[in-house]
Structure 1
């Protein structure tokens, strides 16, 4: 579906008597009350509104209009690969990088391939190396920071340990080949910084405030996370946070997966995603709205060392809690953007990995916590014969176990 399909004329929405400025190059006006050929509308370029999107990303500075880096990149996305090409330069490079990743082409082979293309088609604006191709992706904010990790998951080689070649805890080497000239790290953590670019577009800025400004609440209906008790309790405890609808509520999701096949259990990676819940339900659950935070390397589950890998993410979230100066494109004013994690989404085994709490044995129940109603029966652990469920009412299982005991 075209991203600029804002008037749902093909799904029953009527043509209203409004005058809308054409976003084409002439700047003329179109009267939608006149007869419109729907075939011509279907053939319209869905990127016609790109100039408006670029115009939104201009920032004011001392009375002058100055382009942001993101605006410059969007203009780069409109550059043709060659006159009359079906792909832009940016989309062609993204396609090449996707093929490289999908078919597992090495960096050296990819560089040789794009260099051959650049020599064979000199009139096309094609990058000549893998690094040059990645520069376009980094400018879009899709890059990541590489952080070396101790092979035994003791520490991250950053800040005070950035210059260390051995782990200060277990004395393990940081490099695979200690004596070689080309130092290759044993383990690498990928950190994807959360840049406050969410309010660079007027449309996204408006969506981020939908939950408070445009949502129609219905009593006794749960149609958005704002209707939940957790959201309401958070707003009650931190009223200053709830006053500004632009402050972001995040969900944290993680789980391990096998990148080399479903049946391969010898290697796994752990991605950590951040999900913004300010958007409407049909937007916040879109995969395109998920924000990668960390990509934790394998081959084994980090287990109790998970908190070591979370260090850069936690520091980033603490900065967002204090507030980061951000420009709101909707109002063209600066404000302090705050964010908080109010949910974690994972299965029960991952709960133990992420939080560090016990999820098996006597303390397996999360609600019971330090006062469990469990008892060992031979070599098994089950519910206590004297235990009751929460609220003081006896469990049917407890009653049946009493009958078994008698």
Structure 2
């Protein structure tokens, strides 16, 4: 395609005519002809625009200088050099229904800057630099020369999911990858070990916080207690103590709480236009016959709407349920250990999506060996702090509406058995006054 015109004066009639011609030709390759990906320096192909807005962007901002191959607008593919094999491989056109498209936009959602609706400075969740640009290009490299269904990234994701679903051991997975790589054509980009798979997928890892805790569940070593060496309540060391010699083994933690921050994960969810649309499902699916089919039809939901009308006015604001209980992750013969996961359920989602495993957010992993009991509130502090932030509002970008907004969230319910209910609420659930309703 002729690209010489993109360097012309953007205010000239010649440039504008060429831009209109570009838009007309690009509509042939768009999933929706009324919305074409905008290659301007602000949108960088991550937003779709109408003809009028697209022309305005091209005239006002110009083309993204990094967009040299117009593969998203109908330009034929060209050979490119694979960094791994030093051979030429073909980068195919990204079909928007293929797994290659999903992998490509997985990187886009993670690393690219997001345009502000006012056309001002961009909002960035992760800095965009050459390293991540190379990651995007790597996501487009096919699994082997001529492959049109899988890229290196999509194949890695599928193979790793296969390992998790089948319970394949690390050694077995390594052996499988070596054999599978040898079966593929020469010049393939398939990973050859579990280490390579983890290294590739590490870029998507949102991570978790390791928070030191008192061995007796008195406190967390965070905030004002961050630099303390002993618990301010029971004076127990934050480090492991040898039970025989009583020597403190500095560097070996006595107990660790693992917290998976929820705000970055919610930001990631709203970066997907599909999930962003699903998160507003509840606003247009109230029951019309008085039957309850989703929590949106409940009395508690209506109570929240009436009490906090400003919160209810934006359907993107989230409503959580919190579920927790203990389980033994080790041998069934051992009954002494009890690890407590704390899981958040997002009730904005449709009923068939709401309780699916991928949408249940593990937020805390409370360590054993014993159950936290009434001290569970100590471990809930990091989650509580983030929920307070979300109630006050956190700025996010919504890819569905293509606009920044102030996300708020509220905790509606807890889901647990009766003993755990007593721990979470602080109410008596046994003995002479064991009814939490009437006391």
TM-score normalised by structure 2 residue count: 0.63
In structure 1, the partner of 2:354 is: 284
Query: Structure 1 pair 20/240, CA: closer, same or farther in 2 (3 Å)?
Result: closer
Distance 1:342 1:210 in 2: 17
Q: CA offset at residue 224 of structure 1?
A: 1.0
Query: Structure 1 pair 273/76, CA: closer, same or farther in 2 (3 Å)?
Result: farther
Matches within 5 A, 1:69-218: 69=126, 72=132, 77-78=139-140, 88-89=152-153, 92=156, 139-176=203-240, 183-194=251-262, 195=264, 196-197=266-267, 198-212=269-283, 214-215=284-285, 217-218=287-288
Q: Is contact 1:209–1:245 with CA below 8 Å preserved after alignment?
A: yes
Distance 1:103 1:298 in 2: 27
Q: Is contact 1:69–1:139 with CA below 8 Å preserved after alignment?
A: no
Per-residue deviation, residues 9-65 of structure 1 (Å, max 9, x unmatched): xxxxxxxxx98569995756xxxxxxxxxxxxxxx9741542566667651165687
Q: CA offset at residue 219 of structure 1?
A: 2.1
Q: CA offset at residue 90 of structure 1?
A: 7.2
Q: Please say which of residues 95-104 and 343-352 is displaced more in the overlay.
A: 95-104
Q: CA offset at residue 250 of structure 1?
A: 0.4
Distance 2:205 2:423 in 1: 29
Structure 1 unmatched ranges of 5 or more: 1-17, 29-43, 370-406
Q: Is 1:59 aligned to 2:114, yes or no?
A: yes
Q: Please, what is the CA RMSD of the aligned residues? A: 4.1
Matches within 5 A, 1:217-232: 217-232=287-302
Distance 1:168 1:351 in 2: 28
Distance 1:177 1:125 in 2: 46
Distance 1:145 1:285 in 2: 25
In structure 1, the partner of 2:99 is: 47
Q: Please say which of residues 282-291 and 87-96 is displaced more in the overlay.
A: 87-96
Per-residue deviation, residues 82-114 of structure 1 (Å, max 9, x unmatched): 657977357648956996996787xxx99x99x
Distance 1:143 1:256 in 2: 23
Distance 1:125 1:49 in 2: 18
In structure 2, the partner of 1:340 is: 410
Distance 1:160 1:320 in 2: 22
Secondary structure of 2:258's partner? strand
Q: CA offset at residue 126 of structure 1?
A: 5.8
Distance 1:303 1:181 in 2: 27
In structure 1, the partner of 2:89 is: none
In structure 1, the partner of 2:340 is: 270
Structure 2 unmatched ranges of 5 or more: 1-29, 38-69, 75-95
Query: Structure 1 pair 66/161, CA: closer, same or farther in 2 (3 Å)?
Result: closer
Distance 2:240 2:157 in 1: 32
Distance 1:243 1:136 in 2: 41
Q: Is contact 2:239–2:250 with CA below 8 Å preserved after alignment?
A: no
Query: Structure 1 pair 243/202, CA: closer, same or farther in 2 (3 Å)?
Result: same
Paired residues in the alignment total 329
Q: CA offset at residue 355 of structure 1?
A: 1.8
Distance 1:235 1:26 in 2: 43
Distance 1:45 1:332 in 2: 21
Query: Structure 1 pair 94/46, CA: closer, same or farther in 2 (3 Å)?
Result: closer
Distance 2:301 2:409 in 1: 13
Q: Which of 348, 365, 377 is the aligned partner of 2:435?
A: 365
Q: Is contact 1:77–1:91 with CA below 8 Å preserved after alignment?
A: no
Query: Structure 1 pair 125/173, CA: closer, same or farther in 2 (3 Å)?
Result: farther
Distance 1:307 1:103 in 2: 37
Per-residue deviation, residues 144-202 of structure 1 (Å, max 9, x unmatched): 10001111111111122111222121111111258678611010000000123221111
Q: Is contact 1:249–1:341 with CA below 8 Å preserved after alignment?
A: yes
Q: CA offset at residue 275 of structure 1?
A: 0.6
